[in-house]
Amino acid sequence: MAVRAVPSPGATTSGDSYLPAHGNGGYRVGHYDLELDYRLVSNRLAAKARISAVATQALSRFSLDLADFKVSRVLVDGRAARYVRRGHKLTVTPARSIAEGFEFTVEVRYSGNPKPLRSPQWGDLGWDELTDGALVAAQPFGAPSWFPCDDHPAAKATYRVSVATSSPYTVLVTGSPVSRKRGASTTTWVYEQRVPTATYLMSVQIGRYVEFAPGERQRVAVPVELRARAEADFAVQPRMVRVLEDLFGPYPFAEYVVVVTGDELDDPVEAQGMAVFGANHVDGVGTHERLVVHELAHQWFGNSLTVADWRHIWLNEGFATYAEWLWSEASGGAPASRHARDWHRVVAAAPADLSVADPGVRRMFDQRVYKRGALTLHALRTELGDRAFFALVRDWTDTYRHGTVTTEAFTALAARHAGRSLDGFFASWLTGTALPALR
């Protein structure tokens, strides 16, 4: 007797250990096609999202992450679907249930005034207005501020993004430029992101920018009044790319785009193949050189290799911080060992109450995750020796290129390169809260 599958409602949680309310279950997105019409003066966004997905279970309904927009229509496979939006969840009930393993498309039309999502720990996240333009800085959960999505770092997909806005403004989107069509007063910019990308790493930047190329496959977009400072500060970037490629393997994307906004920002922000700096981060004398290499390093660690769960955040920030020390060493500054000794003293003076491998949601971006993560890598380099350590790192970036990663996968790969168990080493440096001595 045949048994008919009973459609399940679908999960409104990703199961992430830190941010379970962000992201969804029951399906896997393969591609987003976004059409955005943005009016700068009124901060008004009218948009259509077409999402291609595969059901991972039988679905009678499913959810997407979308905040603070009026939804006017939802179609599933071309048929009108019932929907309701509560908080940042858009719950969709299709006219027909979707069988497990079936491909389906969702079309969402929505409009409103985009604004960042508020976070008590991390401030505003997502689409935000500039004095003259707009930006998207979405880490870790700001993507629903501008498009409906499965907002979880492991839910990587490809994208096509079309943005129409006022013609005097430049639009930059993470991905490769496809076309630009100018109308009477607006210009439509089209980009394609062909590499699987996490939702938080998709970005839109709108401003009155001029561009220059500091190196091959590199662009910097900057307000004209900041161009001279930016040209001086990013002149070192081509050498940084060469050094990091020697250490980490080939640069993982088609190009690297840096945007310098006319406004000041608290911190630079990474996106896929892109980094965004504030006006306060360029001064023409290289004061923030370490931030330049930190954001560049995220293209390998965080963007190409994306954490499968937010508790593994040290794999992003520890590697990017250690890249600062490695660049210092390679460029004639203090060696990594001196940076390690200096930061070991700083971390040792702080409370011993944080586990690098599981810092907790409130301390995901605690500076000790960054610095102790880098200290862990330096201690591992000392443990293995340079040859084995950098072979491990290049194997790591190659094996998981454009994929997702976990602490367990890294420690297992490290043990294979060491040719012995490293359980005790990682228990001390990653799992325990007491800071080990630095050899």
Query: Could you list the active site residues?
Result: 295, 370
Beta bridge partners of 327: none
Q: In this structure, which amino acid lies at residue 414?
A: A
- Determine the Cα–Cα distance for residues 51 and 85; give it in Å rounded to an integer: 17
- Determine the Cα–Cα distance for residues 18 and 12; give it in Å rounded to an integer: 15
312 annotated to bind ligand: no
- Which one, of 87, 162, 140, 437, lies nearest residue 310 by Cα? 140
Interhelix angle 314-330/289-297, rounded to 10 degrees, is 130
Judge contact between 148 and 64, C-beta under 8 A. yes
339 annotated to bind ligand: no
- Determine the Cα–Cα distance for residues 306 and 322; give it in Å rounded to an integer: 17
Q: In this structure, which amino acid lies at residue 251?
A: Y
Beta bridge partners of 248: none
What single string gives the DSSP state of each residue in 160-206?
EEEEEEETTSEEEESSEEEEEEE-SSEEEEEEEEEEEE-GGG--EEE
Token pair for 329: 């060493």
Beta bridge partners of 34: 49, 161
- Which one, of 369, 368, 357, lies nearest residue 406 by Cα? 357
Establish how many alpha carbons lie within 13 A of residue 228's alpha carbon, considering only the half-sphere containing its beta carbon: 1
Element (H, E) at 342: helix 336-349
Element (H, E) at 110: strand 103-112
270 annotated to bind ligand: no
Instruction: State the binding site for Zn(2+).
Output: 294, 298, 317
